[in-house]
């Protein structure tokens, strides 16, 4: 229903329907009512889109939809939305009815190339594609469920080509150098936070667990007698249990005297920052903490078949497991011939 107010010698009509807010000023109430009736009919017929901005749509999405996702990427999606609003204020402030595919194509190209004048470095095509997928999902939700728009302006925007999957694996020399630079030593309690980062790195290689899964691990999740750790919360939203090797159990035993809970006493950001510093001090290039997952799965492949590997890693798509995370060398494969 429209509302009408008389101010001075004029009448103001206001409409708020289906996320659309419109207003107009008229000389008589009859003119205001006639205008409001006609505009409301357009809104109800879907001929008028919401007057929300891009920023409002994206923030509404991460508030309402992101927390319900099984992969629990709420923080990531919130950060990506806020980064767009901060770095591209003109795009964020645009009304939905004014946004075009060309706007998103320009955003894509700027993200890929960077902007020296504004201090922005270019990012990988995979990063841009991931962000576009998030924003596209928000616009499609606004179209299908909220009725804010008729069509998504991102639908016609091509995604950047994604690079070949990483195949980097650390050598044992590099692993030893990184652990040494972090102050971790086998058989000794890792009392410092830096040493615990080294312990977490070796634990990741032994279990192929993600960094987030390792830092969230609590003592109640570990079954030493049956040699596994249960992960109630994972990236894809499905709980799983991971077998523990003798070396993984030894690392947990080293941590016992510290009586920390979560077990490693680290946050994801601490683990990432400390690993990077330790890696650089060790003079190791081109290696990330997440590469430990590939190394771990490749080592486990010597014991388990691909279906068992998927059970351990939590992968539902075997193509991703084989293409991205399982990276045996020709030497590894040749060894299986004997």
Average pLDDT for residues 24-39, to the nearest whole number?
Answer: 85
Which residue is catalytic, options 108, 279, 315, 326? 315
Q: pLDDT tens digits, residue range 243-281? A: 999 999 999 999 999 999 999 999 999 999 999 999 999
Set 52, 80, 210, 293: catalytic member: 210
CATH architecture of the domain 172-335 equals Orthogonal Bundle (1.10)
- Residues 40-79: pLDDT tens digits? 887 676 555 567 899 999 999 999 998 887 655 678 899 9
Where does the pLDDT of residue 117 fall: very low under 50, low under 70, confident under 90, or very high at 90 and above? confident
Catalytic residue among 61, 201, 325, 326: 325
Q: How confident is the model at residue 88, as a pLDDT? A: 94
pLDDT of residue 47: 56
Domain boundaries, the chain: 3-44, 58-146, 172-335
Supply the pTM of this predicted model: 0.64
Told to judge if 325 belongs to the known catalytic residues of this protein, a careful annotator would answer yes
Give me the catalytic one of 235, 276, 277, 290.
235
Spatial contact of 197 and 275, defined as CB atoms under 8 Å apart: yes
Catalytic-residue membership of 60: no
Contact by Cβ (8 Å): 296, 326: no
The H-assigned helical ranges of 182-328 are 193-207, 211-216, 246-255, 268-281, 291-300, 306-313, 318-320
| pLDDT > 90? residue 90 | yes
């Amino acid at each position: 229903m429209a509302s009408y107010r008389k101010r001075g010698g004029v009448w103001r009509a206001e409409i708020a329907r289906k996320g659309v807010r419109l207003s107009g000023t008229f000389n008589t109430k009859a003119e205001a009512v006639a205008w409001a009736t006609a505009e409301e009919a357009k809104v109800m017929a879907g001929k008028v889109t919401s007057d929300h901005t891009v920023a409002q749509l994206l923030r509404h999405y991460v508030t309402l939809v992101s927390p319900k996702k099984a992969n629990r990427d709420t923080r990531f999606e919130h950060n990506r939305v806020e980064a767009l609003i901060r770095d591209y204020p003109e795009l964020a402030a645009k009304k939905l009815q004014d946004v075009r595919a060309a706007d998103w194509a320009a955003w894509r190209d700027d993200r890929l190339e960077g902007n020296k004048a504004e201090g922005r470095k270019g990012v990988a095509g995979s990063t841009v594609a991931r962000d576009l997928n998030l924003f596209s999902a928000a616009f499609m939700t606004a179209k299908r469920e909220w009725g804010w728009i008729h069509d998504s302006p991102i639908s016609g925007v091509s995604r950047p080509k994604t690079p070949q999957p990483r195949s980097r694996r650390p050598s044992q020399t590099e692993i030893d150098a990184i652990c040494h630079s972090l102050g971790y030593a086998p058989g000794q309690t890792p009392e410092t936070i830096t040493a615990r980062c080294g312990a977490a790195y070796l634990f990741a290689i032994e279990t192929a667990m993600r960094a987030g899964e390792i830092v969230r691990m609590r003592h109640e999740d570990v079954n030493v007698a049956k040699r596994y750790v249960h992960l109630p919360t994972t990236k894809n939203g499905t709980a799983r249990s991971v077998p523990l090797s003798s070396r993984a159990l030894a690392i947990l035993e080293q941590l016992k005297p510290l009586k920390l809970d979560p077990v490693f006493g680290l946050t994801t950001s601490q683990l990432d920052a400390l690993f990077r510093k330790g890696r650089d001090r060790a003079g190791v290039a081109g290696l990330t903490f997440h590469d430990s997952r590939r190394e771990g799965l490749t080592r486990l492949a010597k014991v388990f078949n691909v279906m068992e590997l998927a059970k351990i890693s939590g992968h539902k798509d075997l193509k991703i497991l084989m293409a991205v995370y399982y990276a045996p060398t020709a030497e590894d494969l040749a060894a299986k011939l004997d």
